[in-house]
Amino acid sequence: MAWVDTILQGLLLGGLYALFATGLSLIFGVMRIVNLAHGDLSILAAFLAVVVVETLGWNPFAALVVVVPLLAALGYALQSLVLNRLLGRGILPPILVTFGLSIIIQNALLETFSADSRRLDPGGIETASVALGSQLAVGWFPLITLAVAVLILVGLQLVIGRLSLGRAFRAVSDDQETAELMGIDHRRLYALAMALSLAIVAIAGVFLGIRTTFTFASGPDRLLFAFEAVIIGGLGSLWGTLVGGAVLGIAQTVGAKLSPAWGILSGHLVFLAVLLLRPQGLFTKARRVA
Amino acid sequence: MTRAAHAAGFRIERTTRAGRAGLVAAVLVLAALVTVPRWGDASTMRILVEFIALLVLAQMWNLLAGYAGLVSIGQQAYVGLGGYALLVLADDLGVNPFAAVPLAGLVAAALALPTAALVFRFQGGYFAVGTWAIAEVYRLLVANSSALGRGSGRTLKAVFPLARETRELTTYFLALAIGVAALVAVYAFLRSRWGLGLMAIRDSEPGSEALGIDVFRTKLGVYLGVAFGTGMTGALIYLNLLRVSPDAAFSINWTAYPIFIVVIGGIGSLEGPLIGTALFFLTRELLADQGAWYMILLGALAVGAMLVYPRGLWGLVADRWDVRVFPVQRRVAWDRPAREP
């Protein structure tokens, strides 16, 4: 029963990783860039939630009302003022600029909030659990996280599949020049995609802060887990991120149960195994050109 | 120069006046560096070793990203592997610690081969994150190994029997040799036909493939060569510091510093990393107590450079005055207009 419990915990942890992975996957899908500051922006969101909680006395869940729009606005500004100026200059500039941002954000967080680890306290729900039979129990909070991840994926699926905004995303992703001829302003669209990505990242960051402690340096690991979930699930597959997140989560909890020091490493090793044996990912229907 | 080119009234030139001046200056600087142990103290030599190590790391990253288009964020893997290889070779296997430095580079290059088999499946941004993820795997594997001292690392003991002056002097001259060798190797490589092929790949991959350049093998060769240089430099760094720990040896800073140096100094040139490293050390001396602010400043300068001057400080100089101290380009020089009958 202990193993079933471990795997269940890993599966639920996958919900959190899927939240991180979705934002990364969305950006890559629409404009073929990887935001290396992805993880650090989620930690920035968690610290902003700390500020809201401490100054206004709100519950961390309520802080989402402030933090999510703030990060979305930051994403819009980042794309339209900085990243859009790098369009058409190859792969190097966006990688280096987002890497520079990653280092800037980490050190700015260190200067502002010190190196102490923080945690968001939602008032009891993080420890409450629901019993499944006599020996199994799952925490309410991991369940909520997974539910939110599924809701966001369903929402994103609807946006991309049904709305004209999503149609424009797909058009720009497939053929930017022709999309422009059809009257689509790709720069504005990229800014909207980044805003959407960072809104999801904000939710992921706040949920991470409720689940576990974090410091200014927690960002890069979030980026790596998100990336691994995307690759395990299959590049360009929205639901694949959920599968990838779950595989990564299970690998980490099972590894940690075998030996506490091996948790994160097991996740990395499963990622490498998938990369070696099934580079197109577990959940990919059609191979998309990366 | 071919007869046909001569008849057509142009020559292909590579040597520039600044290049000849640069060669003279390089020889003078080298001569000055050789005399440092006569008048400098141990701390001067230690800082110079650090300077050379960062310069080589920057040259290596520049070759990888600026010329081969392989934007790696995981070069700290090879710094760490080089440092630990030095430790194992010298302390556990009894190799002379100074001879172990180039051998550590070979160990790094040998491990770069399976690493490349994995990360070469990615392109662009995902290559960058993939190399970073694998560097983390190496760090965690080392941190979980009790033979390597786990998270707290180990101290290089093989140098203890040596007199301190001998160790410092040998480390200094080894660093100087590595620095000169790296600079000459990169310069000679870029001027060779493989270097020409590499620059053709950078400008157009399909085009260069059509001309018969083996894109995959060229990139793989550069990746392995850079891993050798980076691993050797990692061993040099820890021969200087003596204490190796996984968090320090596999720190992202070993990639972040070279990136900032190269981007600010000028990516895709040999002069850029030199200027960048000098600037890096100058600003570090000025902002010694402001660790976080120093990184914020470097990051902001690099982002600003990418936005406004993508070819960095050296790009500004080269465009303004048309100088090439280390000319790797071939250029057409027209003869005087031929007298028409």
Sequence spans of domains, chain B:
16-29+42-329
pTM: 0.91
Residues of B in contact with A227 (CB under 8 A): 126, 129-130, 133
Residue B57 has pLDDT above 50, yes or no: yes
Which chain A residues in 188-247 lie under 8 Å from chain B, judged by CB atoms? 220-221, 223-224, 227-228, 231, 235
pLDDT band for A41, please (50, 70, 90 cuts): very high
- Is A71's pLDDT higher than 70? yes
Give the range among A21-25, A72-76, A220-224, B211-215 with minimum mean pLDDT. Answer: B211-215
Which CATH number goes with the domain that contains A73? Answer: 1.10.3470
**Digit-coded pLDDT (tens) for B325-338:** 777 777 777 766 55
**pLDDT tens per residue, range A139-194:** 889 999 999 999 999 999 898 888 888 888 888 888 888 888 888 888 999 999 99
Give the one of B122, B141, B292 whose C-beta lies nearest to A111's C-beta: B292
Token code pair at residue A154: 């369903």
Q: What total number of domains does chain A contain?
A: 1
- Partners of B129 on chain A (C-beta within 8 Å) are 34, 36, 223-224, 227
- Give the contacts of A251 (CB within 8 A, at least 6 positions apart): A10, A266, A267, A269, A270, A271
Residue B307: which of A82, A95, A265 has the nearest Cβ? A82
Whole-number average pLDDT of chain A: 90
In a domain, A264, yes or no: yes
What is the extent of the structural domain holding A10?
2-277
Burial class from Cβ neighbours inside 10 Å (0-12, 13-18, 19+) for residue B150 reads middle
Contacts of A261 in chain B (CB under 8 A): 143-144
The answer to whether B245 and B152 are in contact (CB under 8 A) is yes
Residue A221 lies in a domain: yes
A residues 24..43 contacting B (CB < 8 A): 28, 32-34, 36
Residue A289 lies in a domain: no
Q: How close is the nearest chain B Cα to the Cα of A123, in Å? A: 34
Query: Rounded to whole angstroms, how far apart are CA atoms B83 and B139?
Result: 12
User: In this structure, are residues A229 and A28 in contact, taking their beta carbons and an 8 Å threshold?
Assistant: no
Put simply, the answer to whether A91 touches B69 (Cβ < 8 Å) is: yes
Residues contacting residue A260 through CB under 8 Å, at least 6 positions apart: none
Q: CA-to-CA distance for A232 and A34, rounded, in angstroms?
A: 16
Confirm if A216 and A42 have CB atoms less than 8 A apart. Answer: no
In a domain, A36, yes or no: yes
- Please indicate, yes or no, if residue A111 is contained in any of the structural domains: yes
The 10s digit of each residue's pLDDT in B70-81 is: 999 999 999 999
pLDDT tens per residue across span B119-162: 998 888 899 999 999 999 999 999 999 999 888 999 999 988 89
Instruction: Tell which CATH classification among 1.10.3470, 1.10.260, 2.30.30, 3.10.450 matches the domain B16-29+42-329.
Output: 1.10.3470
Residue A112 lies in a domain: yes
Between the alpha carbon of residue A180 and those of residues A173, A176, A183, the distances in Å are 11, 6, 5
Predicted local confidence at residue B132, as pLDDT: 95
Amino acid B250: pLDDT = 97
- Predicted confidence at residue B337, as pLDDT, reads 56
Percent of chain A surpassing pLDDT 90: 64
B52 compared with A262, residue with greater pLDDT: B52
Reported ipTM: 0.91
